[in-house]
């Protein structure tokens, strides 16, 4: 018996010389800045996606289980907000687990669109979900949504529900987040909406532990970034030279994550003119991620300024995490 089919749009293709050149250029520019940086989207090769799954199981990593509890507690209201006959567009779907749990709880879209930069991991996860729920039309889109969010031309405009859980919005700084949310509002009509998970400001010790767990899984996730960069850029980072650093910056309300050089070293990678070299002093850092935290009022204001209205929020009893639903104000 043949397996039920998902439709795949692979817009991001690392093997396409043109795209590959663009992503390599982006990596090289970040590495050559005074404060070297690598964007968090490069965490997600197949191993990076698996390491993130492991992070969500850690006792210190409260966001996933707190968000899941909010879904269970407020399922009737979430079901009512989403309505019927909608398209769920899952931004950074990962293993499609959160959408799958909604579907198995009876919140069923007519169409599910899974979007992720980690194309192979998304495809395998989506195919598994399709086997479990063959009646739902499923489309997978492999793309980098920081550049564009190109949806299939035949995707109906009505009842597009963007789903952005897990507090991934925190990877953008607030002005970038506003711009990203505005692009979502522009791609739906008044019958559509946005269901988004947001991590709330809380005690520093809880935040620090969530991003620097005792087992070292987050450290492995962070350091795996260099393995991915080596593969994509033909660079020669030695992972054993780098250690994980993560802390809460209360002034800017964000977790900052870095890789710190254990000794003075030089990293290199090829370019048209020969090899690019970047020297790092002992203790020098590469910035790898920010994760901005919000107050309920702050995120409500951000949604409103990005063109959303009819804003609802559900939270957990400790107010650690919030789930917002909002509609484009048209
Ligand atoms: C923190 S994980 C969250 C996964 C899942 N949504 C959850 O809430 O558990 C972020 C997901 O977004 C994807 N992602 C990160 N940056 C992306 C980008 N620029 N474009 C598309 N997907 C991206 C990653 O591959 C990963 O699956």
311-327 pLDDT tens trace = 999 999 999 999 999 99
Judged against a pLDDT cut of 80, whether residue 2 lies above it is answered with no
Structure confidence at residue 16 (pLDDT): 87
Instruction: Copy the structure tokens of residue 254.
Output: 């964000």
The whole-number average pLDDT for the span 180-202 is 98
The whole-number average pLDDT for the span 118-136 is 97
Could you give the C-alpha distances from 143 to 148, 165, 281, in angstroms and in order? 8, 18, 35
Instruction: With 0.95 as the threshold, say if the pTM is over it.
Output: yes
Structure confidence at residue 163 (pLDDT): 99
From atom 10 of ligand 1, which residue's Cα is the shortest distance away? 92
How far is it, in rounded angstroms, from Cα 238 to Cα 227? 8
Structure confidence at residue 132 (pLDDT): 97
- Least confident range from 59-63, 96-100, 270-274: namely 270-274
DSSP code, position 200? B
The whole-number average pLDDT for the span 215-239 is 98
In the structure, what pLDDT confidence band is assigned to residue 227 with cuts at 50, 70 and 90?
very high
- Least confident range from 18-27, 220-229, 232-241: namely 18-27
Q: Is the CB of 98 under 6 A from ligand 1?
A: yes
Q: Determine the Cα angle at 245 with ends 240 and 248, to 5°.
A: 170
Structure confidence at residue 330 (pLDDT): 82
Closest CA to 177 of 211, 200, 146: 146
Task: Give the three-state DSSP class for 233.
Answer: helix
Structure confidence at residue 286 (pLDDT): 99
Closest CA to 210 of 65, 23, 6, 110: 65
How far is it, in rounded angstroms, from Cα 223 to Cα 302? 32
pLDDT > 90 fraction of the chain, expressed in percent and rounded: 92
pLDDT > 70 fraction of the chain, expressed in percent and rounded: 99
How far is it, in rounded angstroms, from Cα 110 to Cα 94? 20
Ligand 1 binding pocket mutation candidate from 94, 222, 292 (most atoms within 8 A of CB)? 94
Structure confidence at residue 1 (pLDDT): 52
Structure confidence at residue 231 (pLDDT): 95
Distance 168 CA to ligand 1 centre (A): 7
Task: Return the higher-pLDDT residue of 328 and 12.
Answer: 328
Judged against a pLDDT cut of 70, whether residue 242 lies above it is answered with yes
Structure confidence at residue 87 (pLDDT): 98
Structure confidence at residue 33 (pLDDT): 98
Structure confidence at residue 262 (pLDDT): 98
Pick left, alpha or beta for residue 199 (phi over 0 → left; psi -120 to 50 → alpha; otherwise beta).
beta
Q: Is the CB of 166 under 6 A from ligand 1?
A: yes
Contacts of 284 (CB under 8 A, 6+ apart): 36, 260, 261
Judged against a pLDDT cut of 80, whether residue 3 lies above it is answered with no
Structure confidence at residue 271 (pLDDT): 87
How far is it, in rounded angstroms, from Cα 297 to Cα 301? 6
In the structure, what pLDDT confidence band is assigned to residue 86 with cuts at 50, 70 and 90?
very high
Distance 126 CA to ligand 1 centre (A): 14
From atom 13 of ligand 1, which residue's Cα is the shortest distance away? 92
> pLDDT, tens digit, for every residue of 31-53?
999 999 999 999 999 999 999 99
Q: Is the CB of 49 under 6 A from ligand 1?
A: yes
Judged against a pLDDT cut of 90, whether residue 19 lies above it is answered with no
End-to-end CA distance of the chain, in Å?
Answer: 47
Structure confidence at residue 10 (pLDDT): 78
Instruction: Copy the structure tokens of residue 255.
Output: 């977790």
Closest CA to 105 of 130, 64, 133: 133
Task: Give the three-state DSSP class for 46.
Answer: helix
- Number of Cβ within a 10 Å radius of residue 46: 13
How far is it, in rounded angstroms, from Cα 131 to Cα 53? 21
Compute φ and ψ for 67, nearest 5 degrees: -65, -40
DSSP helix, strand, coil percent of the chain (3-state; round to 5): 40, 25, 35
């Amino acid at each position: 018996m043949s397996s039920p089919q998902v439709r795949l749009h692979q817009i991001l293709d690392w093997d396409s010389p043109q795209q590959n050149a663009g992503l390599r250029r982006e990596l090289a520019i970040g590495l050559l800045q005074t404060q070297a940086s690598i964007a968090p989207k490069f965490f997600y090769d197949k191993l990076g996606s698996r390491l993130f799954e492991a992070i969500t199981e850690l006792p210190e990593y409260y966001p996933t289980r707190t968000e899941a509890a909010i879904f269970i507690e407020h399922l009737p209201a979430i079901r009512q907000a989403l309505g019927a006959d909608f398209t769920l567009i899952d931004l950074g779907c990962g293993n499609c687990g959160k959408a799958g749990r909604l579907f198995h709880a009876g919140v069923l879209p007519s169409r599910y669109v899974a979007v992720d930069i980690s194309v192979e991991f998304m495809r395998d996860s989506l195919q598994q979900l399709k086997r479990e729920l063959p009646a739902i039309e499923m489309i997978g889109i492999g793309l980098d949504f920081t550049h564009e969010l190109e949806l299939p031309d035949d995707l109906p405009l009505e009842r597009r529900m963007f789903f952005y859980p897990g507090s991934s919005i925190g990877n953008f700084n607030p002005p970038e987040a506003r711009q990203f949310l505005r692009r979502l509002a522009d791609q739906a009509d008044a019958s559509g909406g946005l269901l988004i998970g947001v991590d709330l400001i809380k005690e520093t010790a809880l935040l620090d532990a969530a991003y620097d767990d005792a087992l070292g899984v987050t450290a492995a996730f962070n350091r795996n970034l260099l393995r991915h960069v080596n593969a994509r850029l033909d660079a020669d980072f030695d992972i054993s030279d780098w250690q994980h650093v993560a802390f809460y910056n209360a002034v800017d309300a964000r977790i900052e994550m870095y890789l710190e050089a254990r000794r003075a070293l030089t990293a290199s990678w090829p370019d048209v003119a020969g090899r690019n070299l970047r020297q790092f002093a002992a203790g020098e850092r590469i910035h790898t991620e920010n994760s901005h935290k919000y107050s309920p009022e702050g995120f409500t204001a951000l949604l409103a300024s990005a063109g959303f209205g009819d804003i609802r929020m559900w939270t957990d009893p400790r107010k650690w995490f919030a789930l917002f639903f909002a509609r484009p104000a048209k």
